[in-house]
Every structure is written in C-alpha cells, then in structure tokens.
Structure 1
Amino acid sequence: MKHTRPAGVSVLICTYNGAQRLAPTLEHLSQQKLTLGIPWEVVLVDNSSTDNSIALSTACWQRYGAPVPLRPFRQPIPGKNYALEMAYDEARYEFMCIVDDDNWLNNDYLQVGFDLLSRHDAIGLLGGRSIGAFEVPMPLWFPKVSRSYAVGTPVLFTGNPPRLLTEAGPITQGALCGAGLFMRHAAWRLLQQADFQSLLNGRIGEKQLMGGEDDELSYAVKLAGYEIWYTPTLCLTHFMTKNRLTKEYVPRIIHSFSETFTRLSVYRRLAYNSTIDYSQVYPWIKDFIYLTIRTFSMRNLLKYLKLRFKDDIEYLLIQEQFYIWINFMKEFNETRLNYIKVKNMQQRARLLYKGNNQ
C-alpha cells in the first residue's frame, strides 16, 4: 500500500456558523490520549460562515493548551463537500478523522482509529457509533428518527447471507456515518486519480439540508476496492441543539434523504447488484414498477390515511416514501447516466488499486 503522507492523524472539522458549538468540541479534542510519538493536528475549514468561528476556535484551542497545531482555512464556496475536499488536500497525515462541529470524541477515539488503520492496510474507511446529548430535554419522538440525526449504532451487515454486524470488522452492506469517520488519505487520492465526481452537493448551511455525502463516500471507497470497517470501540457524543429538536425541523431532515435516495441508488446497485447491467433502460423500468407497487400498496395507503390527521412522526416517515417515488420518476433519465459515470469511475479505481498493491 503506497502512502505519501507520514503516519499520524489529521482531524478535519468543517463548520458553518459554528461559533456556539465549537468550544466543547475542541475541549474534548484537547483531551485526546495518544501514545507518545503519534503526531496529529486539527484542520479547521470555515465554510462561508458569517460569525467569528475561526477567531473563537483559535482562542479556545489556546485556552485548552493547544496540544497540537490548529490550522484554520476558509472555503468561500458553500457546501460541505467543498469544505471537506479542501480539508483532505490540506491534511498532513495519512489518517484523517472527520469531526463535525457538534461531535465530542471519547478521549481514546484517535488512538483506537490509529491502531486499527495501522494494523489493516486494506481499510479505506473506519467508523463507529454515537450517543446523543441534548440542549433541551430529549423529545419523546426522537428515538423514532434518531438515525436521521446520526445518533445510535448504524445498521450494517456482513457475511453471506448477511447478518447484523455488532463487533469490529468489515462491512458488506450499509454505509458508515460521516460523523467521526476515519479515512485513509491513500483512498481519497485514489478516488481523485480515478476522476471521482460526487453526485451530491452536501449540506449548505442550515438552508439546504441535502446530506448523503457520507453514504456516497462509503460506497465510492468500497467500489474502488478498499474495505469499509466498523468498530463499536469508536464512540462519540453528538450534541443536539434545541433548534434541531423542533417539530418544524424534523420534516426537513427526514425529507432531505428523499432528495439523495435516487442518486445514491446508483452506488447501491453497483455494490449489491453487480450482475445486472443498469446501463440499460429496462432494469430501471423494472425497479420503478417495483417501487410504485411498494409505495402505493393498500397497506401503505391505509396507514398513511390513518396517520394523516395525527401529529405523528410515523406519518412523515411514510410520506417520505412518496417523496422518494417522485424523485425517482423526476431523475429517471439522469440516473442511468449517473450509473454509467460511476461504473466507469469504479473500473478506473479498481485498476489503480490493483496497481498500487502489486
């Protein structure tokens, strides 16, 4: 495995108006316990903020003892993907850890990630689990949508036939959560060399909540030939601000997934249905018919009507299936072309991966 960066950890934080969230995040980072001699750093990318995120972060880091360098950058183009790509380019070390500005890492987090990535060269991405912390009392409805908020244990499968993954190991089905995600820099460089182009924009501030970039990254790295790993020993706390715990915010975060579902389905079909040639129109027509039958089933419609007049989160989850169907229909022609583009990228990446490991 070819590495051009030295062994160590670059913590990547991308923030938009995160001045009020960054202080505890940096405080937890400053308490990381690593074996003497393991170098690490913090790369902070301000993604078009209008507050004093960088100035506050620099002051906080100094107050917490500045155990390693904190290197701030500004990305004027809105969108989390653009901020992350800048962070990848600026990272000095081979192992990168993506930390959101509301993530509080356990004090052994970086050490656990460093050890696993050092022992297993085939790991391209490594993720863990999270628990929630709340600025206000946790709403009763929150457990129903906790995974939409990146809280809890991701639903991941391994083996053939697939079984739920509950211990450390490689993943055969599912995608890792972006919060606290470790990425090998060699995997990112390989994707760049293979001309990987994201099908998503990522979140843009609080106005556009389109996410899915962590799912896309998981699928892309796996398609390139690397292994994707999960370990429960990686644990962080995801802090929920009160403005994200309102009944007005929930529909936005739930419906944001319907906007990316169709584009991410391209990756899923390549990863799990590689024997079917989705560069042709017929398989997509077949899938659309199946999705239509499932979405408009009598059971689904009756449940939808039953919950329609209740103030219930489950109503939103069923409504989401209709949004997915609409977006699938709207992006039908574009999706097949996206499939061809991603498949070509996969072929280039696999050749590069094979060449790097001979």
Structure 2
Amino acid sequence: MKVGVSIVICTYNGAKLLPETLRHIALQQVRADVPWEVIVVDNASTDATARVVKEEWQKHQNPVRFSLLHQPKPGLTFARELGYAHAQYDYILLCDDDNWLSPNYVNLAFDVMEENPNIGVLGGYGDLVYEEEPPFFATQLRLFANGHQAPGSGKVAKNTVYGAGCVLRKSAYDHLFRMGYKPILTDRLASALSSGGDYEICYALALLGYDIWYDERLTFQHYMVKERQTWEYYLRYLKESSSCFEVLDAYNILINQGSRSVLTFNYRFLKGFLYYLQEISRVTLKKATLDPSSEEGKINTLLFLGYKTRLLGYRKYFKVKENFVQLLHFKNEKLVPKVNPKEDSFFSAQKLSHKVL
C-alpha cells in the first residue's frame, strides 16, 4: 500500500456545493514529501454535478492527480467503496461535498497517521457555517457533524468519530474485508436522511483492535445550506436517521459496554431502555409548561421526539440481539483473513467494473 493521502468526495446532486469545496482542496498547502490525490464520486446525481466538477477543477490548474468516478448504485456506502477501490494511497480523507478543509489539513492528516500506525480512523473538528442565519433551536442541538469529538486529541473512548473530514486507513479496511466483513448500513441514500455508516466502520475497525482517534488540529468548516435549518428538516432527520440504531446499538453494547454473552446483552439493552424512558419522562413534564412555538419549546419538542425515536427503536429487540450475536461470532471466530492478502481484493475487483470519467 502506497503511503499518501487520497481525498475522496462522495456527492449526490452536489453541483451547488462542490465549487467551494473543490476550491478549498485546490488551495491545500501540501508539502513536497506528501503524495496525494483527489477523487470525486458522483453517486447517481440527476443534476449537473459531473459537468460542474470538471469545470471547477480545471479553473484551479492544480497538477495533483484528479479522478471523477460515477457510482450508479445509490447509497453513500457504495459511493465510498468505489472511492476506496480507486484510491492509490493508504490514508483516505473523506471530505463531504459541503466540507471546507483548512489549508494544512492534508499535511496534518498525513503526519498523524504516520506517527500512529494503529489508527484505523482519524477524526477532526468541524465548525458549522451557515448560508443564512439559523433559527435559535438549530444552534442548540448537535444533529450534524461538528464540534469536539473528545476532551482532547488522542484515542476516542467511545470508539466513533463522524465521517465528515475523517481519515480512514485503507489497509485496515482491506484487512476487515478479507475477514468477510460486510457493512449492514447503506448510510445516506440519495435524498433520504438515513445515516450511521461512518460509525459502523469505526466500530468494526475497533472490533479488530484498531484505534479510533481524534485530533483537534484537523479543522474544517461544515457549510449548512438554508434548507437544512428548517423545522421540517429537523423533524424528518430525527425520523429517517433512526433506522441505524438497531445496528449501532449492537456494536455499542459489544464494544463500549463490554458485553460478551446474550445474558449481559439483555442487561445492557434494558439499562439503555430505562435511561431513555427516564429522559423522555423528564422532557414530557417540561413540555407541559412551555409554549410549543417558543424557541425553548421547540428545543424541548425536538428532544422529546429524539427520545421517543430512541424508545421506539427498543421495540426492535430481536433485531438488535441478532446483530449483536453476529458481531460476537465475527469477533470470536473470524479473526483470520479468509483470502491471501496478495490475491486480488475487493478493491481491484471494483476497479475493473467501473470506468473513470
């Protein structure tokens, strides 16, 4: 595996967002000793994304290797896998189409990954910037990738970092694949707000013993379009993003809570249910004293809906338990790679089946 940084940008209908994102990448102040490249994956877009990408990148006259790929199968997970397959360097920087990387991001990412060979995923610090002044309730709830991910730089105790701006060690992911791992979540799907694929990869790599890391020096701006700051969007986000819990809860109970049997799983599952039951009771009592149209009332309503969504997720006990048992089996029985690492892997197979535009 070549040492260097491959920036992978996956986008669905990102024609409006990509010009500024690409400009920040073109302005990266990368040292001569740091090999790097840029890969854009158009994930079944129906707008002018491909044309905009070509035109905008040509404006900057940056000589770094640049590729535009097309993934017709909708789903962020599928788009990222195609990007991984074509990445020629071991450190894959996942830059969303609305992320503006600070000028030294590539250098820092390279240095941290080089200095810490056991890092599976490295996260950074996102700072939200808005197309329009957001409503008060939008600034009080952390629904999007932003802010500190740990008390300080280093290994993250919760074993997850958000996908925006993160750096994945490709050799670690390839190791995971050779062991027969297949992600359950498809993450963002076209305009749907399903999510959680970034956390699933973090958990899976932590299961193998890789560290999940955070470095507060890796800073980027996360641009929020006005459409994502409406009351209706927040309500839809809470509803549609809840589908990931049946997968992520299984990982969390196994990895973070240390359960090693169905008996301890049941205990942890019940404990989580009681926690959210207590929280929804608290906000329900407060709700009765607040004007629902006030800013505080809206914040409380979103908290109520969030806790309600989590409680409804606990109805999927059998599905969460099934995922837990499968993960436990994977951990105990699948720690030896199934194929020879020197043989053609998933990534080379993907290269043969897609055309670089």
TM class by shorter-chain length? 0.7 to 0.9
Shift of 1:341: 1.5
Q: Where in structure 2 are the equivalents of 1:257-296 lying within 5 Å?
A: 257-278=241-262, 282-283=266-267, 286-287=270-271, 290-291=274-275, 293-294=277-278
Query: Does 2:222 correspond to 1:238?
Result: yes
Are the structure 2 counterparts of residues 199 and 64 from structure 1 closer, same or farther at C-alpha, using a change threshold of 3 Å?
Answer: same
For 1:222 and 1:231, the matched residues in 2 are separated by 17
Contact 1:133 1:239 in 2 (8 A): yes
For 1:214 and 1:305, the matched residues in 2 are separated by 37
For 1:54 and 1:45, the matched residues in 2 are separated by 9
Q: Which residue of 1 aligns with 2:30?
A: 34
For 2:177 and 2:279, the matched residues in 1 are separated by 37
For 2:269 and 2:106, the matched residues in 1 are separated by 46
More divergent stretch after superposition (92-101 vs 332-341): 332-341
Q: Deviations over 1:218-271 (max 9, x none)?
A: 111111110111111000001111111112111122334432223211111111
Are the structure 2 counterparts of residues 21 and 295 from structure 1 closer, same or farther at C-alpha, using a change threshold of 3 Å?
Answer: same
Structure 1 SS opposite 2:223: strand
Structure 1 SS opposite 2:8: strand
Contact 1:308 1:315 in 2 (8 A): no
Percent of residue pairs bearing the same amino acid type: 30
For 2:5 and 2:272, the matched residues in 1 are separated by 44
Shift of 1:295: 5.0
Query: Does 2:106 correspond to 1:110?
Result: yes
Q: Which amino acid aligns with 2:47?
A: D
Q: Which amino acid aligns with 2:125?
A: R
Structure 2: any 5+ residue segments left out of the alignment? 342-357
Query: Does 2:192 correspond to 1:196?
Result: no
- Aligned match of 1:77 in 73, 85, 95? 73
More divergent stretch after superposition (75-84 vs 303-312): 303-312
- Aligned match of 2:144 in 138, 149, 174? 149
Query: Does 2:309 correspond to 1:309?
Result: no
Contact 1:225 1:350 in 2 (8 A): no
Pairs aligned (count): 336
More divergent stretch after superposition (307-316 vs 210-219): 307-316
More divergent stretch after superposition (267-276 vs 233-242): 267-276
For 2:177 and 2:109, the matched residues in 1 are separated by 23
Q: Which amino acid aligns with 2:52?
A: L
Q: Which amino acid aligns with 1:152?
A: G
More divergent stretch after superposition (317-326 vs 5-14): 317-326
Q: Where in structure 2 are the equivalents of 1:36-75 lying within 5 Å?
A: 36-75=32-71
Q: Deviations over 1:176-234 (max 9, x none)?
A: 1110100111111011112222221211122x101111111211111111011111100
Q: Which residue of 1 aligns with 2:234?
A: 250
Q: Which residue of 2 aligns with 1:209?
A: 193
Q: Which amino acid aligns with 2:323?
A: N
Structure 1: any 5+ residue segments left out of the alignment? 157-164
Contact 2:113 2:119 in 1 (8 A): yes
Contact 2:125 2:147 in 1 (8 A): yes
Contact 1:127 1:177 in 2 (8 A): yes
For 1:274 and 1:52, the matched residues in 2 are separated by 48
Structure 2 SS opposite 1:8: strand
TM, length-normalised to structure 1:
0.87
Query: Cα RMSD over matched residues?
Result: 2.2
Q: Where in structure 2 are the equivalents of 1:121-140 lying within 5 Å?
A: 121-140=117-136
Q: Deviations over 1:35-72 (max 9, x none)?
A: 11322111111111001212211111111113312211
TM, length-normalised to structure 2:
0.87
Are the structure 2 counterparts of residues 282 and 235 from structure 1 closer, same or farther at C-alpha, using a change threshold of 3 Å?
Answer: closer
